[in-house]
Structure 1
Amino acid sequence: MSRKAKNILFVMFDQLRFDYLSCAGHPTLETPHLDALAAKGVRFSHCYVQSPICGASRMSFYTGRYVHSHGSAWNNFPLKVGEVTLGDHLRARGMDSWLIGKTHMSVDQEGLDRLGISRDGIIGARVAECGFDVFLRDDGLWGEGPAGFYDKKRSPYNEYLKGQGYEAENPWQHNANAGVDEDGNVASGWFMRHADKAANIREEDSETPWLTSQAMEFIKAQDASGSGPWMCHLSYIKPHWPYIVPAPYHDMYGANHVLPVVRSESELEDTHPVYEQFMQNEIGQTFSMPGVREKVIPAYMGLIKQADDQMGRLFRWLEETGHMDDTMIVVTSDHGDYLGDHWLGEKDLFHDPSVRVPLIVYDPSEQADATRGTVCDALVESIDLAATFVDLAGGDVPDHVLEGYSLLPFLHGQTPDTWREFAVSEYDYSATPEAAALDLDPKQARLFMLADNEWKFVFADGGFRPLLFDLKNDPDELNDLGADPDYAEVVEMFLGRLSEWARRPSQRTTVSSEFLEGKRTGSSSSVGIFIGVYDERDLPPEVIEKTITYK
């Protein structure tokens, strides 16, 4: 039987570092199922997200456009009505687009109201859900405090847990993401000292197995209905904090499995003001405390191990149902996690632990046989996936809208005609305490990263100097050269690149280059418009006939 990718399974983990897979070189964490997928596909070793924060990064994945273009620049910034999404592109090519899990999408309700679009209709529902049809949406943060829930929407996961017999009012918070202390009290996973405890939940009921089961139910439903090709975005909630995982994963790893921290005392000297503010926030300070990494990272590794086991479960089922022969499988993440590297926690800035993500692409098609098990070190951006999916679905990639490049040539052993010289990521931190501490106008609290194979450059708006790292000689990015006059030419080169990138026609999305080139050769005289003509006798009679005669 010939093998051809008809469907797409687009798997995203939340906050998974690029280097926390054994196929990516992690020496103590075992991820055999993702390793096996990489052995059957291509692992892209230098994939950068377009923003190191959940919401903005995901909106770039889902639109195929830079943050600078779509404007949803931070968590819960609405994606404006009118942005063409992956679902729009795929449906136009005969492929359905479905969501299972998280998007971090915030709807542009003002835009819907202005246009008179109701969320009750199919168009409004898709606009409100980032272009997806929803099999199940759960953003996975059901924290609850004195002011109520963090996420005001209904929690499908909490409803599932209550149906499984969990009695807490908020079992996400008190079971799935909490343990039990020595006195029988709730030991919340919000507090990292509890990271070594087992979550108070049956492993099979925890978030990652639950979403895996939902994906299998979705595919069963598609098979039963006999519907056409589909793209399923299976978007996991973990290994994002809270850092706590159920047994048996809670004690699979210990302090002896934690890699040495990547940071230097020199980073604390003459520190860039923006970088310094993020070092000083609570999570940066906590991860800099003795013993915290040794407590937290084993739980993070356990969450990844559980995720890998669930990938094994899913991949075996896809084999049994024949879908490994007709489904492209993509595994990636929306950003990484510092875990104490560079004196930081969480994400936000542009060192590799934050902005670089894993990317594995398996194409069952026979054209991809020559590249199986290879590693591609091309500069890849997360927006390339939208272009890849559109390319796979058929038809030309609309490059006046989609700003990435299709990865199919790499998968099929070909050299793309053109490829980027540098990757770009952006961060608008205007809504953060760090911007307030720096007394920045919201329009100035922006960072832009440009990275090539030799350098990583960060432009800091607001009158700050840039950051610069020599990736060849300082791959751990410990020595900031941005203020060193010996590297002024490199800084100038990147400023020129940033200027060139910022001038691209990113908002010209309603007309293609082909349309514009066609306009050049068209003549207004053919439709009775004559600009700059002095004498009608200089024109062919058939052109002016309707202009100078009447009946």
Structure 2
Amino acid sequence: MTKKPNFLFIITDQHRADHLGCYGNPTVRTPHIDRLAKHGRRWDRFYVANPICMPNRASIMTGRMCSVHGARHNGIALSKDQTTFVELLRDAGYRTGLIGKSHLQSFTGLPATNRFTPAPGRTTPSPHLRDAQKNNRHGSDYDLEIVPDWETPLASRIDGDFYGFEHVEVVADHGDQASGDYLLWAREKCPDFDSLTGPDNALPDNRIKAPQAWRTAVPEDLYSTSWIADRSADWLGQRAEDGEPFFLQMSFPDPHHPFTPPGHYWDMYDPGDMKLPASFGKGDLPPIRAMREALQNNTDPRNNQNPFAVTQDEARSIIALTYGMISMIDDAIGRVVAQLEALGLADDTIVVFTADHGDYMGDHGLMLKLLLHYQSIIRVPFIWMDPREGSEAVSDHGLASSIDISATVLARAGIQPYNGIQGRDLLSTQSPSAIVVEEDSQRPMTGFERPQRVRTLVTERYRMSLREGEDWNELYDLQADPHELSNLYDRSGSAAARHELTELMLRRLIELQDRSPLPAYRA
């Protein structure tokens, strides 16, 4: 590799680290992703900055924690005042493309759950003075991904720049409910496409009975995973012709719920062969008890984004369908990597693979994400395959974070990062003694009376999570208790470790305070 490197950045959605063959899963078939790990570096302890889609994707783009860039939860867009590493790549001469899921802005367009409420007996500020930031990320610049209003391609509604991406073809939502630019294409390709999607149009199947799972009538070649691979391969073909360095983000909305792998991927895996997590049905934290009770009483909503408890049969079915979605993504990645090789681009292209967060996927008998920072939620895969480094697999056991991706890409591209970036170059620096995970929910969920604010510290040995407004916290010895079953936080024998971790968390939070902007002193 003698020229400026290209980058193919692959990201999946709600994909835990141990749902890949190269991370030790003996069942799911992922030969193409495994090949990347075989010829690259695989991080064993790679953690998200936030276990929710929009916040962590914003942290990947900026190299900054959510408490700093401000996109704390879904529904809060990444401000265009925040610099992204993709903008620096483009500034340095890279062609930049985003094909697939973006989710840097809201999908739903629904009213905010937390709104400014006038206080009786007090003068109410004018609308532009009701928030600490006057740029409240509302308006047409931040409504670009709202699904109900997506009547024309995103590219036609921007000025050739979307957070640094000059080329955009975007998917919103998930499963066979995927929309955005992809849905516009699917409807053009198949005029009656809407008659193929959703549970009401599902194909009959008596094998699977699980929440948010149906056998989609959408064929494999019209499914969003195939569209993303095809459009990515086409874009790479154009880059081979112009010869300029490129950064392509290929972003799959699966294996997120709803669980609707198409065609032969639906029954690629037999639910009866699926192994339940060791922690299934275990754990006695208040929200886990509440979700189990809701399952027994049939009172828990199971058709939205909130986590819920499942039966053993439901868990096995959902795991099987999730593996089907993952295998479809793996096949799509194989086709795109083969295109790199056919175009003569492979020797100059670094391929990166990660996910935006994980999924309980049966851990402690739960599904989906939010609120409880188990390893299945906060630990994701990260693979870096650089042709310059040779062809032998390397496993890195040091702690790393999604805020580190931007700094690592910029360093490899030979570009100086901007002031305020908080991530580190994974290839040239020592791993830290601890990393922090943030979460700020906007609404109460089963087992909670209020929205939660959680801060988690992960060290080589421990995971500690502190939450605002509750009388319980968590502390686990990950070496002795890898399935996080024994909460040590209130045990007297753990007082010294708890105090040490609390101080370490405080010091790490201080370190992660913003260093931007620079002072405005005159020379």
TM-score (norm 2): 0.82
In the alignment, the residues of structure 2 paired with residue 64 and residue 432 of structure 1 have an alpha-carbon distance, to the nearest angstrom, of 29
Q: Which aligned pairs between 1:295-310 and structure 2 lie closer than 5 A? A: 295-310=317-332
Paired residue for 1:450? 457
Q: Which aligned pairs between 1:157-176 and structure 2 lie closer than 5 A? A: 157-169=182-194, 171-173=196-198
In the alignment, the residues of structure 2 paired with residue 194 and residue 429 of structure 1 have an alpha-carbon distance, to the nearest angstrom, of 22
Cα distance change, pair 242–142 in 1 and its aligned pair in 2 (3 A):
closer
C-alpha distance after superposition, 1:381-411 (max 9, x if no partner): 011110011112213334x4211111233xx
Paired residue for 2:18? 19
Cα distance change, pair 232–109 in 1 and its aligned pair in 2 (3 A):
farther
Greater fraction helix: 1
Q: 2:267 aligns with which of 233, 246, 251?
A: 251
Q: Which aligned pairs between 1:226-305 and structure 2 lie closer than 5 A? A: 226=242, 228-263=244-279, 267-268=283-284, 271=285, 273=286, 276=289, 282-283=301-302, 287-305=309-327
Amino acid paired to 2:395: V
CA RMSD between the two structures: 3.4
Amino acid paired to 2:59: S
Secondary structure of the corresponding residue to residue 510 of structure 1: coil
Cα distance change, pair 505–470 in 1 and its aligned pair in 2 (3 A):
closer
Contact 1:455 1:469 in 2 (8 A): yes
Q: 1:460 aligns with which of 463, 467, 470?
A: 467
Cα distance change, pair 166–293 in 1 and its aligned pair in 2 (3 A):
farther
Cα distance change, pair 318–439 in 1 and its aligned pair in 2 (3 A):
same
Q: Which moved more, 1:234-243 or 1:90-99?
A: 90-99
In the alignment, the residues of structure 2 paired with residue 353 and residue 199 of structure 1 have an alpha-carbon distance, to the nearest angstrom, of 27
C-alpha distance after superposition, 1:37-79 (max 9, x if no partner): 1111111111001111111111111111111211211112122
The CA deviation at 1:315 is: 1.3
In the alignment, the residues of structure 2 paired with residue 421 and residue 403 of structure 1 have an alpha-carbon distance, to the nearest angstrom, of 15
The CA deviation at 1:80 is: 2.6
In the alignment, the residues of structure 2 paired with residue 220 and residue 373 of structure 1 have an alpha-carbon distance, to the nearest angstrom, of 29
Contact 2:358 2:379 in 1 (8 A): yes
Q: Does 2:218 correspond to 1:181?
A: no
Cα distance change, pair 4–450 in 1 and its aligned pair in 2 (3 A):
farther
Q: 1:354 aligns with which of 367, 374, 377?
A: 377
In the alignment, the residues of structure 2 paired with residue 168 and residue 364 of structure 1 have an alpha-carbon distance, to the nearest angstrom, of 41
C-alpha distance after superposition, 1:262-288 (max 9, x if no partner): 3266512xx2x4565566554488542
Q: Does 2:400 correspond to 1:380?
A: yes
In the alignment, the residues of structure 1 paired with residue 508 and residue 289 of structure 2 have an alpha-carbon distance, to the nearest angstrom, of 27
In the alignment, the residues of structure 1 paired with residue 158 and residue 500 of structure 2 have an alpha-carbon distance, to the nearest angstrom, of 45
In the alignment, the residues of structure 2 paired with residue 142 and residue 133 of structure 1 have an alpha-carbon distance, to the nearest angstrom, of 26
Cα distance change, pair 118–210 in 1 and its aligned pair in 2 (3 A):
closer
Contact 2:175 2:260 in 1 (8 A): no
Secondary structure of the corresponding residue to residue 328 of structure 1: strand
In the alignment, the residues of structure 1 paired with residue 52 and residue 344 of structure 2 have an alpha-carbon distance, to the nearest angstrom, of 36
Q: Does 2:357 correspond to 1:335?
A: yes
In the alignment, the residues of structure 2 paired with residue 92 and residue 29 of structure 1 have an alpha-carbon distance, to the nearest angstrom, of 40
In the alignment, the residues of structure 2 paired with residue 475 and residue 165 of structure 1 have an alpha-carbon distance, to the nearest angstrom, of 48
Cα distance change, pair 125–509 in 1 and its aligned pair in 2 (3 A):
farther
Amino acid paired to 2:313: G
Secondary structure of the corresponding residue to residue 159 of structure 1: helix
C-alpha distance after superposition, 1:175-219 (max 9, x if no partner): 9xx631279xxx9x9x83684x64212212211111000101111
Secondary structure of the corresponding residue to residue 321 of structure 2: helix
C-alpha distance after superposition, 1:71-106 (max 9, x if no partner): 211112122341111222223333233211112112
Contact 2:160 2:166 in 1 (8 A): no
Amino acid paired to 1:325: D
Contact 1:59 1:72 in 2 (8 A): yes
Cα distance change, pair 505–460 in 1 and its aligned pair in 2 (3 A):
closer
Paired residue for 1:540? none
Cα distance change, pair 432–322 in 1 and its aligned pair in 2 (3 A):
farther
Secondary structure of the corresponding residue to residue 33 of structure 2: helix
Paired residue for 1:405? 424
Amino acid paired to 1:244: T
Contact 2:100 2:250 in 1 (8 A): yes
Q: Which aligned pairs between 1:498-509 and structure 2 lie closer than 5 A? A: 498-504=505-511, 506-509=513-516
The CA deviation at 1:350 is: 1.1
Cα distance change, pair 180–326 in 1 and its aligned pair in 2 (3 A):
same
Amino acid paired to 2:224: E
Paired residue for 1:84? 83
In the alignment, the residues of structure 2 paired with residue 489 and residue 277 of structure 1 have an alpha-carbon distance, to the nearest angstrom, of 31
Q: Which aligned pairs between 1:132-143 and structure 2 lie closer than 5 A? A: 132-141=165-174
Unpaired runs of 5+ in structure 1? Answer: 145-150, 410-415, 528-551
In the alignment, the residues of structure 1 paired with residue 458 and residue 354 of structure 2 have an alpha-carbon distance, to the nearest angstrom, of 19
The CA deviation at 1:342 is: 1.4
- Structure showing greater radius of gyration is 1
In the alignment, the residues of structure 2 paired with residue 5 and residue 322 of structure 1 have an alpha-carbon distance, to the nearest angstrom, of 15
In the alignment, the residues of structure 2 paired with residue 488 and residue 385 of structure 1 have an alpha-carbon distance, to the nearest angstrom, of 35
Paired residue for 1:531? none
Paired residue for 1:199? 216
Q: Which moved more, 1:73-82 or 1:31-40?
A: 73-82
Amino acid paired to 2:486: N
Secondary structure of the corresponding residue to residue 367 of structure 2: coil
The CA deviation at 1:131 is: 3.5
TM-score (norm 1): 0.78
Amino acid paired to 1:384: D
Contact 2:62 2:85 in 1 (8 A): yes
Amino acid paired to 1:139: A
In the alignment, the residues of structure 1 paired with residue 143 and residue 219 of structure 2 have an alpha-carbon distance, to the nearest angstrom, of 40
Paired residue for 1:147? none
Paired residue for 2:235? 218
Paired residue for 1:71? 70
The CA deviation at 1:169 is: 3.6
Contact 2:291 2:308 in 1 (8 A): no
Contact 2:105 2:143 in 1 (8 A): no
Unpaired runs of 5+ in structure 2? Answer: 107-132, 145-152, 295-299
Secondary structure of the corresponding residue to residue 379 of structure 1: strand
Contact 2:198 2:216 in 1 (8 A): no
Paired residue for 1:36? 35
Contact 1:55 1:75 in 2 (8 A): yes
Paired residue for 1:427? 439
